[in-house]
Structure 1
Amino acid sequence: MRHPRLLRFTGLLLGLALLTGSATPDPAVQTRDFQSYFAAYGLRGSFLVLNADTRQYTAYDLDRCRQGFLPASTFKIPNSLIGLETGAVRDTAEVFRWDGVKRSFPQWNQDMSFGRALRVSCLPCYQQIARRVGAERYQQWLPKLRFGRMQVTPATVDSFWVVGPSRITQFEQIDFLQRLQQGKLPVSKRTQELTKDLLVLSRGPGWVLRGKTGWAMRQGQDNGWFVGWVEQKGKAHFFALNVEPADGKPATSAFIQGRRAVTERILQQEFGLLAGPGKP
């Protein structure tokens, strides 16, 4: 039997350890001013990048990087994983039939494969997937994937990522993408590899860019995303950009193109990534 004094001393040491050593340290974050890149496209917003090798974050408008926004079409990444893993989608070649309703994005008004549906960000196609998955299975899978704070009910099952209270921060986007890139999500290797292949946007000498844009339109205020990662010379950099039109007016072509253009310019000019001509 242990001596009472020894037990008290052990308890004191444990308490001190919990106070001083158990907390996970905050990530290293340096701040930079990238405002000129945003201004060139009439945008305001924030940018976050993580060097996975050094574990160093670089942030433009750090407070905003910690603010939650609707995920919009960046949710197509976890939605693809859930669709494939649950069998709601057979594979990337499965064809989604156009319902004949003409929508404002002409590229959606046609039959298309699952792979193409992600590349053109086809909302009606992913709404079909959402109805197949159902609210109950989302409620089981979303906590496992740890993609922000999604809120889904049977009534919102095909819209909860574009309207409503669901939110995700830029830090949470990067955390999720890291686990996908490293194959550490709680889904099969096949599902993760198929999804990563769908996310390839361009390649160049020694590098590959993967990513997904997003666009939430709510009450006249447009909010846009571009998230993903660059693998270059055996190292990975993860990024998350969130923007709005600086004048508060509806989105223009500068907003649509600027999400990816601002990101690529920062990665090229500030981090030396995406060097050399890329190709789709």
Structure 2
Amino acid sequence: MKKKTKYFKVICLLFVCILACMITGCANHSTEEKPPAESGNSVESENEISADIETVEADWSEYFNGRNGTAVIYDPSNRRYTVYNQKLAETRSSPCSTFKIISSLIALENGIILPEDSTRTWSGERFWNEDWNKDIDFREAFRTSCVWYFRQVIDDIGKDRMQKELEKLQYGNCDISDWEGSLNTNNNNRALTGFWIESSLRISPKEQTEVMERIFGGNSDYSEETRNQLKQVILVPEQDRAALSIYGKTGMGKNNGVVVDAWFTGFAESTEGTIYFCVRLGETEELEVSSTVAKEIAIEIVSDYCIP
């Protein structure tokens, strides 16, 4: 009987030893170092890609003919910025009517503007631009840069949705705090003011090119239908030819009657690919500064860049 008890104790002891070894092995296995998560690697890769884009300074002074201004071309296929007057290219200012690209984009994507049924009723108030003094649809409102039309569109978009979209696009300072546009001392007519007109919202020319790429580039978050509808209204018709198509929007802002911001921003498609561009003119004494001049300069630079 004693022998059986002795054997039983030995067997129990062996069983306890084996069980202890198994537990120790599991503990060691669970504390082994694991490889970093894939998400961390993707962020690191994204940062490396951003750092890999080169910036080339260009002497485009002949196009500006003495005017204070800057030009930026972002060429994603060659991973390159070409910049004239880099300091001004990175200086933020009011986007003015170039922002109609953004308000149109958001409104089209969310069904606030339906191109085939987009006419809005004129209030009867007489505005300085005779083209605005009538009922007007989306295409004509964009062509004539009708402020009262887009003031209504932006109110329909609403503050929350607008803020979310600007943050997604990384649009300059994303500041829509002056929703009504009270900071704009050039105009106190609510129908003709807003955060995008010499007010709280600011963006640099370089950032303008980046936003254009986020909208129209290969990784766009917006539907193909929306982008095609928007392309139809921002196409520069006189520049639409087999080798090159230019798309863009002008914008102009004043301070006490003096033009301080004159823009033309957009993108161009050619057989070589797509580039994104922006030209901005600032206040210049004794020389004409306007959005029309900015557009002319941009078209010349882009045409020479795409078709040397």
Q: Distance in 1 between matches of 2:225 and 2:306?
A: 32
Provide the aligned length of Structure 1 versus Structure 2.
Answer: 261
Indicate which of 38, 49, 57 corresponds to 1:31.
57
> Does the Cα contact within 8 Å between 1:78 and 1:145 map onto a contact in 2?
no
Q: Distance in 1 between matches of 2:46 and 2:263?
A: 36
2:68 is paired with a residue of what secondary structure?
A: strand
Deviation at 1:163, TM superposition (A): 2.8
Partner residue, 1:171: 206
2:221 is paired with a residue of what secondary structure?
A: coil
Partner residue, 1:215: 252
Higher helix proportion? 2
Structure 1: which 5+ runs fail to align? 12-17, 276-280
Deviation at 1:154, TM superposition (A): 7.6
Question: Counterpart amino acid of 1:32?
Answer: A
Alignment of 1:111 onto 2:135: yes
> Does the Cα contact within 8 Å between 2:251 and 2:291 map onto a contact in 1?
no
With 133-142 and 208-217 compared, the bigger mean Cα shift is at 133-142
Deviation at 1:228, TM superposition (A): 1.0
Detail structure 1 runs of 4+ shifted over 4 Å in the superposition: 18-23
Indicate which of 81, 93, 107 corresponds to 2:105.
81
Q: Distance in 1 between matches of 2:301 and 2:77?
A: 19
Q: Spell out the pairing of 1:239-254 with structure 2 (5 A cutoff).
A: 239-247=277-285, 252=288
> Does the Cα contact within 8 Å between 2:92 and 2:204 map onto a contact in 1?
yes
Deviation at 1:255, TM superposition (A): 2.2
> Does the Cα contact within 8 Å between 1:52 and 1:235 map onto a contact in 2?
no
Structure 2: which 5+ runs fail to align? 1-27, 37-42, 182-192
Alignment of 1:57 onto 2:95: no
Q: Deviations 1:134-180 (Å, cap 9, x if unpaired)?
A: 21221232212322222224843760111322111122111111122
Distance 1:53 1:185, change over 3 A: closer
> Does the Cα contact within 8 Å between 1:78 and 1:147 map onto a contact in 2?
no
1:33 is paired with a residue of what secondary structure?
A: coil
Distance 1:112 1:234, change over 3 A: farther
Alignment of 1:195 onto 2:237: no
> Does the Cα contact within 8 Å between 1:31 and 1:60 map onto a contact in 2?
yes
Partner residue, 1:14: none
Q: Distance in 2 between matches of 1:78 and 1:241?
A: 17
Q: Distance in 2 between matches of 1:21 and 1:70?
A: 29
Partner residue, 2:189: none
Identity in percent:
23
Q: Deviations 1:185-243 (Å, cap 9, x if unpaired)?
A: 33333222211222111311222111111112234442111111111115112111110
2:201 is paired with a residue of what secondary structure?
A: coil
Name the Cα RMSD after superposition.
3.0
Deviation at 1:21, TM superposition (A): 10
Alignment of 1:66 onto 2:90: yes
Deviation at 1:45, TM superposition (A): 0.7
> Does the Cα contact within 8 Å between 1:48 and 1:57 map onto a contact in 2?
yes
Q: Deviations 1:92-131 (Å, cap 9, x if unpaired)?
A: 5411222222222222222221012112211111001011
Indicate which of 118, 121, 129 corresponds to 2:145.
121
> Does the Cα contact within 8 Å between 1:183 and 1:192 map onto a contact in 2?
no
Distance 1:222 1:104, change over 3 A: farther
Name the structure, 1 or 2, with higher relative contact order (CA <8 Å, separation 6+): 1
Deviation at 1:67, TM superposition (A): 1.1
Deviation at 1:90, TM superposition (A): 2.4
Q: Distance in 2 between matches of 1:179 and 1:197?
A: 18
1:107 is paired with a residue of what secondary structure?
A: helix
Q: Which has the greater radius of gyration?
A: 2
Q: Distance in 1 between matches of 2:160 and 2:303?
A: 43
Deviation at 1:61, TM superposition (A): 0.7
Partner residue, 1:95: 119
Question: Counterpart amino acid of 2:168?
Answer: K
> Does the Cα contact within 8 Å between 1:92 and 1:115 map onto a contact in 2?
no
Higher strand proportion? 1
